[in-house]
Amino acid sequence: MERHRIRQVATRAVENMVAVALANYAAPKENGHSIAFDPIAFDENGSRETLVIEAGEAEGVYLATFDLDAIRAYRQREAWGDAFRRPWAYAALTRTKVAAPFLRVNERGEPYPRKRTSGR
């Protein structure tokens, strides 16, 4: 999780007017820095930092608290509203069929995710 990726996540929170949290593996597998952002880019004092929490490199449990009432109020007063929302564009994200380039295999070389059989 490097700075460029962290700023991308912050941008998605603001653009979509939603709180976003992203977990990353701790060091040494990865470099940690799990993050959470709220979408409120501006308040009565002007521009504000949207970072709610950024974890360090170590493994741990980190809590992000979002003020849902403040987020709802921000959505109501923000000029963007839902002008740039395109829900139909996200339909591919909700499909259950997995296609290239997102085909993966597990450590045994089997397709992942494995289809579960009944009785499991």
33-85 pLDDT tens trace: 899 999 998 888 999 999 999 999 899 999 999 999 999 999 888 876 666 66
| 3-class secondary-structure state, position 28 | coil
Is 51 contained in some domain? Answer: yes
User: Which range of residues forms the domain containing residue 43?
Assistant: 3-85
**Dist. CA 55–CA 58, nearest whole Å:** 8
Is 96 contained in some domain? Answer: no
Q: Quick count: other Cβ atoms within 10 Å of Cβ 35?
A: 23
Residue 37 CA, chain-centre distance (Å), reads 8
Is 30 contained in some domain? Answer: yes
What's the domain count of the chain?
1
* Average pLDDT, rounded, for the chain: 83
Residue 82: the pLDDT is 67
Entry pTM:
0.66
Contact of 13 with 19, CB cutoff 8 Å: yes
Is 68 contained in some domain? Answer: yes
Contact of 39 with 19, CB cutoff 8 Å: yes
Is 93 contained in some domain? Answer: no
Residue type, 95: R
For residue 78 the two structure tokens come to 């923000």
Is 90 contained in some domain? Answer: no
For residue 37 the two structure tokens come to 């952002």
Is 77 contained in some domain? Answer: yes
Is 44 contained in some domain? Answer: yes
Instruction: Place 102 in a pLDDT band, splitting at 50, 70 and 90.
Output: confident
